Amino acid sequence: MDNPSNRLIIVSNRLPYRIEPDEREGFAFTRTVGGLVAGLEPLHEQAGNVWLGWADEPAGLDEAGRARFERALAERSCAPVRLDERDAELYYEGFSNSALWPLFHGFPQHTRFDEEAWEAYVRVNERFRDAVLELARPGDTVWVHDYHLMLLPSLLREALPNASIGFFLHIPFPDYETFRMLPWRRELVRGVLGADLVGFHAYDYVRHFLSSCRRIVGVENESGTLFADGRLVRADAFPLGIDYERYRTAARKPEVRRLVSAFAEEKGHEGCKVMLSVERLDYSKGIPERLLAFDAFLDRYPAWRGRVVLVLVTVPSRENVASYAALKKQVDELVGLVNGKHSTMDWTPVDYYYRSLPFDRLVSLYAASDVMLVTPLRDGMNLVCKEYLACHDGGGGALVLSEMAGASYELHEALTVNPFDLEGVVNAMRRALEMPPEEQRRRNAPMQERLARYTSQKWAREFLDAADEVKRRQAGLSAHLLGPTSARNLLAAFEAARRRVLLLDYDGTLMPFSDDPACVAPDERLRELLRRLGSNPRTDVAVVSGRDRATLEAWLGDLPVDLVAEHGVWFRGRRKRTWTLEEPLSAEWKDAVRPVLADFVDRTPGSMLEEKDYSLAWHYRMCSKELAERRVVEVKNALGDGLEDRGIALMDGNKVVEAKPRGVDKGHAAHRWFRDPSYGFVLAAGDDRTDEDVFEAAPASAWTVKIGDGPTRARFALKNAGEMRELLEALAVACAEEPAAAALPAAAGRSASRAAAATPSRGRALARA
Ligand code: GDG
């Protein structure tokens, strides 16, 4: 976003305008208020930036009216996404607000999982993708908002691999135990991981998200940095603020002060205090619980009867969702109950409104209220409490705030309550009503200072700066990736060499990982590829693996390739086809180690023991990371000293600890080829810790390639096994183009560019060239 010609495309479910029918024009636009809009408004107003969201055309417009409508949208830099009516209903009410909203807020009883609604959610996310693609230009930043569009980042990523894409979730991200109830949990996590930067209101939500990434799709993180499909992604907390100045100044406007006085006169007669609550009518906001607490308060402290009014403003919301209609009925009844029970001839305890208020009216209510009750059962952030404080800048006011709102992380000077603890809420109501003005100011001042500093505008700026930073870090990393130039050079070196050797790890390099190691038999395409490369008279191929020899033989034994099993214990040449021990070894030690590892398998659900001829491997790919980390230390402590005396070493691999004879490693095994000077081209590729031994042992001129992310001694990196496959395909194509008498160095001088031009399916790494 540093370059002003690069635009920001803001994408959210709705546009920042309410579009309503209007008799004269056919439609009327009203700016919606709220934190999201306030934060993004200044950015949206910058030339070129666009806001994209679902907006239906008002009914009954003629052609001229429709043209006027389009113009009105364009003048406001808005791009509408039109949705099929049935899809819109299923996506919005059926999935977003009946599955995601309740589950993410911890209300499984209101959660409905419906396959048809999910399918509509997918379709609508795709519809949004198409709309963004129509607009997006190279260099644009796309910022996707909220739970309605969790698939959009990865849908966009597929189409625009290098685009800058941010995602912000405005609601809580639930803990793993809750999130995993979703039948489509994998798709949603994957969907979000298409972004470069994933933002949440609070660090706890970041933690939960990272935990789901790890446990659901196996993507680990290091302090919030993840590698998803080889691409760096960051997840972090960006607590949304408010447009502080807007509320502060509004509360001082003469017309608002007049409303405040009128209100105070009406409600505050004879010293009657006002407690206020304002929110959308939503079960997450804890409205019935608040009413019950108020009822209990009036029972417990009768002296307050007639001296306090609860002004309860509930804004209509999602009325077509059944649980919301039921809540409306419940709140109506409770208000009736409390008023029926406590009212007197000249005092009604609950002043209840079911409507949205104009901005000035809302601000005057904030300013006139002695106590603000914000007691949601769960709330991503909650802006109302922040707005209340802004309207009391320089004055008093007491804020009762739920610990379950994201805002409570920042506003700890408020009277914080557990909204499920009725007694606690009752006590907080009393303390707030009786709080001396001096204490009110002392508590509010530091909160107001922070809110005035970290505004919604600052929030937006920080998010976009952080997204830029991710792009810079990605660029730094890709310098190491095998880019087009290096790929061209590699191919040229391959073609030029009279003899060449390819040393290839198996798991994670030739085949992607699977939870079950037995399930990664080579597919026919891979076998064919190895056959083509291995049959080339100038090319030797060796699969250098930690696998046992029986498996390697069953999967690859008929191919013209050398095999190394158990990290170098066994060698099997392509011609003799018999296994030989690289050096004499003993397996007696296994009897002592086996029961110890078996014990760890029993104590660590999801782990398993693999027995090979000369090694024992304890795999923990399927275990929870926290537990595995502890157990790895314990395994090493339990085995450590005793093993050393027997000449056995413990080796860390990819989600595996392996006990094996010391000195046996892939690096030693690779010397067989490295010491042969006739190889003019050496390629060694692997993804694991154990492949680092090969990279270390390789001659400086070798093309060492690490598959995946993380620190490595290899000179180059490819993102995943898929890209490795593409590289091998390109080499196989180059082999096929060589003349039949290819054993001769005749082809050595051929230019790589000619080969590159002749090989259309060279794979992405090379195709970029
Ligand atoms: C979601 C998350 C997160 C309310 N009544 C009236 C009115 N409002 C305005 C408030 C405030 C906004 O609506 C409500 O924002 P909240 O943050 O309190 O709650 P949600 O609508 O649930 O918003 C929430 C937020 O997204 C932003 O990320 O904080 O956790 O649930 O700005 O002032 N405005 C007017 N009349 C009303 O009657 N004019």
Atom in ligand 1 nearest the alpha carbon of residue 240: 28
32 or 51: which leads in pLDDT = 51
Ligand 1 centre and the CA of 350: distance in Å? 22
Token look-up 């990196």 returns: 717
Nearest-CA residue for ligand 1 atom 5 is: 279
Nearest-CA residue for ligand 1 atom 36 is: 357
Diameter of the chain measured on Cα atoms: 109
Ligand 1 centre and the CA of 11: distance in Å? 18
Ligand 1 centre and the CA of 246: distance in Å? 15
Atom in ligand 1 nearest the alpha carbon of residue 379: 30
Q: What is the pLDDT of residues 164-217, one digit of tens each?
A: 999 999 999 999 999 999 999 999 999 999 999 999 999 999 999 999 999 999
Q: What is the pLDDT of residues 599-627, one digit of tens each?
A: 888 888 888 999 999 999 999 988 877 88
Which of 33, 97, 242, 281 best tests ligand 1's pocket when mutated (most atoms within 8 Å of CB)? 33
Structure tokens at 618: 């304890």
Ligand 1 centre and the CA of 706: distance in Å? 48
In this predicted structure, the answer to whether residue 256 has a pLDDT above a threshold of 50 is yes
Which of 201, 382, 410 best tests ligand 1's pocket when mutated (most atoms within 8 Å of CB)? 382
Residue 224: left if φ>0, alpha if ψ -120 to 50, beta else—which one?
A: left
What pLDDT score was predicted for residue 479? 62
What pLDDT score was predicted for residue 769? 38
Q: What is the pLDDT of residues 37-53, one digit of tens each?
A: 877 888 898 888 999 99
Q: What is the pLDDT of residues 134-164, one digit of tens each?
A: 999 999 999 999 999 999 999 999 999 999 9
Structure tokens at 667: 């690096």
Nearest-CA residue for ligand 1 atom 1 is: 170
Q: Which of 146, 243, 505, 709 is catalytic?
A: 505
Which of 381, 385, 456 best tests ligand 1's pocket when mutated (most atoms within 8 Å of CB)? 381
**How would you list the strands of the sheet with 308-315, edge to edge?**
350-354, 308-315, 273-280, 371-374, 398-402, 415-417
Q: Band of the pLDDT at 474, cuts 50, 70, 90?
A: confident
Q: What is the pLDDT of residues 708-747, one digit of tens each?
A: 877 788 999 998 999 999 999 999 999 998 876 444 443 3
Atom in ligand 1 nearest the alpha carbon of residue 242: 32
In this predicted structure, the answer to whether residue 320 has a pLDDT above a threshold of 90 is no
Token look-up 């995601």 returns: 100
Ligand 1 centre and the CA of 97: distance in Å? 16
Round the average pLDDT of the chain to a whole number and report it: 90
Q: What is the pLDDT of residues 687-716, one digit of tens each?
A: 988 999 999 999 999 999 999 877 788 999
CA 582 from chain centre, in angstroms, equals 47
Ligand 1 centre and the CA of 172: distance in Å? 15
Which of 278, 383, 402 best tests ligand 1's pocket when mutated (most atoms within 8 Å of CB)? 383
In this predicted structure, the answer to whether residue 269 has a pLDDT above a threshold of 80 is no
Which amino acid, residue 236? D
Contact (CB, 8 A) for 543 and 673? no
DSSP 439-479: HHHHHHHHHHHHHHHS-HHHHHHHHHHHHHHHHHHHHHHHT
Atom in ligand 1 nearest the alpha carbon of residue 384: 18
Q: Count other C-beta atoms under 10 Å from residue 231's C-beta.
A: 19
Q: Which residues surround ligand 1 with Cβ inside 6 Å?
A: 33-36, 170-171, 240, 278, 280, 313, 315, 356-357, 359, 362, 379-384, 387
Atom in ligand 1 nearest the alpha carbon of residue 405: 30
Ligand 1 centre and the CA of 371: distance in Å? 18
Helix 185-192 vs helix 152-159: angle between axes, to the nearest 10 degrees?
A: 60
Average pLDDT value for residue range 223-252: 92
In this predicted structure, the answer to whether residue 756 has a pLDDT above a threshold of 70 is no
Residue 62 annotated to the active site: no
Ligand 1 centre and the CA of 111: distance in Å? 22
Distance separating alpha carbons of residues 369 and 359, to the nearest angstrom? 16
What pLDDT score was predicted for residue 617? 94
Helix (H, G, I), strand (E, B) or coil at 628: helix
In this predicted structure, the answer to whether residue 529 has a pLDDT above a threshold of 90 is yes
**% of the chain with per-residue pLDDT over 70:** 94
